[in-house]
Chain A
Amino acid sequence: MLQPTFRGGDGGFPATRSSVLEGVRSGDTAERRRALETVCQEYWKPVYKYVRWRWSRGAEDAQDITQGFFAEMLERELLNRFDAGKGRLRTYLRLCVDSFLLNEDKAARRQKRGGAVQHLALDFAAAEDELAGGCIDAAAIASPDSLDQFFEKEWVRSLFTLAVEDLRTLCIAQGRERTFQLFEAYDLDGDENISYEQLGQQYGVAVTAVTNGLAWARREFRKMALERLQRICGSDEEFQRETKAVFGGDAQ
């Protein structure tokens, strides 16, 4: 029984740089599993939040649905039907979620949850904290037209969160914990009034060290976010398109 666990960690990712879509269609079971784990890790949070907000489901119900959706994605090989030339993966997944919700029977879902289907260990508490912590402006997603934007934004949030964790891991591995602290303080906590000089004083480093450290961290963060993005894109054209959406003017 497949039981992927990805509670915020980075374990088990494919060593190759082939796209996840190639992976899900692979004849190799282990590679297929890894590819699906990658998709689950990138998308479970936006799916969960989407179910909570778009379908107005309670936390427990949304957890069931999210679990059930990804279990069904594994079983029915939904990703095999995706055509990168016709649209974005996240749009396709969102529509699959809608379809899943329209068709899925609650009783059947409960039965499945307790049955032989894979159970995914997901950090729903963290997702709820994000929802409760004011990260989402409910008024801004009131209209159907903004649902796509909401899903995209949450997907970007999920992608960046994972990339930040990748950066943290790298900094620890390279003995650059102070650099990560600077990055956290300036770019994540986002105090617009703090200057590099003040930051330097706060952490006992020279201004040049702050400048260089932040530049390095942003560069590595971008690289890691792009690596994660590239894994879930089906082609170079899609990757270029999605990069622009994530980092460029199309992103909301």
Chain B
Amino acid sequence: MRQLSDKALTRLRNGAELPDLSGTRYRLLERVARGGMSVVYAAQDRDLQRRVALKVLETPSSQGELADRLMREARVLARLEHPGIVPVHDVGRLPDGRVFYTMKFVEGQRLDQYIGSLTPTSDRLRLFQRICDAVAFAHARGVLHRDLKPANVMVGSFGEVLVMDWGLAKILSGDVETETGTDPASPQGPGNGRSGTTGSVVTGHGRVMGTPGYMSPEQARGEVESLDARSDIFSLGELLRSLLSEKPSDRSLDAICAKASAQEREGRYATVQELLSDVSRYLDGLAVEARRENIFEKVGRFYRRYRFFILLTAGYLVMRVLLLVLIKP
């Protein structure tokens, strides 16, 4: 029997791990991310001559369950055509039977890595609004993400924001609920580490799926069947909190975060649009729904919003008074 050196072990391992793309129109470039059960590679689409991200199961699934889930994940993405959601291009099977799908290759950074470069709070809030736009769109299409967190949002080279990793998505279509439930791979892009660091948890049936710290209490309790949009809203609240964590405390923003991520879902915003509206009100200098202001705060906000006109008017009145006093008939 042949002896295998350490080098041979490594070559066999690498060679056997890499997906065999023969017979497809893709050429393998490099591995970019790994999840629990799937791996994401950069590949070249020979026909369209562009770079794509190719997600493939790491192992063949004996009962085909994981393959079905990856296929459903691709279908979820296919029904979510939105500028803030990574588009899927193709789906198929490798010669060894493993299911794969290709999607847009995003050059950029994960949000948790990018956020340090955004200084003004208003910039962070506007970025958050774009995330909410994408999630609201998904909800309108009957899809819950269920794993919203900074590591699953990419910011592209031109500032585009994309919500990634729909591996735990749930489709709500009437009475039919469909879960994807593949372990999510971490997002693409340079500088990303292994997905083991993103912390998403997927266990067996009936199960806890999501990321500790970002998943809603009902999700953490494994109440998979009763999850609705408010579960994603909880995650958005925690995501917003993480975006603002380095900033000085602001009562209105704190109130928005608190309402979005209330422990009881009845206490949260009912829809992502409501959350978005409150963030927009804050940016416009208006009172937010999440918090009732006292009279002093109302006056202070009114002053901040109309400061220029107030000062202009006050200046005019002072000038008039001075003129009346100094120029006596």
Contact = CB atoms under 8 A, between A and B. Distances in A.
Most buried by B among A129, A162, A214, A248: A248
B181 to A, nearest CB: 13
Interface in A186-238: 187-190, 211-212, 214-215, 218-219, 221-223, 225-226, 230, 236-237
Task: Give chain B's interface residue range (CB within 8 Å of chain A).
Answer: 20 to 34
Contacts, number: 105
Contacts of B61: 236, 240
A104 B57 CA distance: 45
A222 B16 contact: yes
A111 B294 CA distance: 91
Specify the main secondary structure of chain A where it touches its partner: helix
Nearest to B65: A236
A57 interface: no
B199 to A, nearest CB: 16
Interface in A124-151: 126, 129-130, 133-135, 137
Interface stretch (B5-13, B230-238, B247-255): B5-13
A161 B4 contact: yes
Interface of B: 1-9, 11-13, 15-17, 20, 22, 34, 36-37, 39, 58-63, 66, 95-96, 194, 196, 204
A22 interface: no
Contact of B62 (A8, A123, A218, A236): A236
Contact of B17 (A190, A237, A247): A247
Given A215-B22, A247-B17, A160 B9 contact: yes
Interface residues of A, number: 46
B132 to A, nearest CB: 34
Interface in A112-132: 123, 126, 129-130
B322 to A, nearest CB: 76
Chain B interface SS verdict (over half) = loop
A186 B36 CA distance: 30
A188 B8 contact: yes
Contact of B12 (A130, A187, A219, A236): A187
7 contacts: A153-B9, A160-B12, A160-B13, A189-B8, A218-B20, A247-B16, A248-B58
A21 interface: no
A135 B11 CA distance: 14
A129 B3 contact: yes
Contacts of B58: 240, 243-244, 247-248
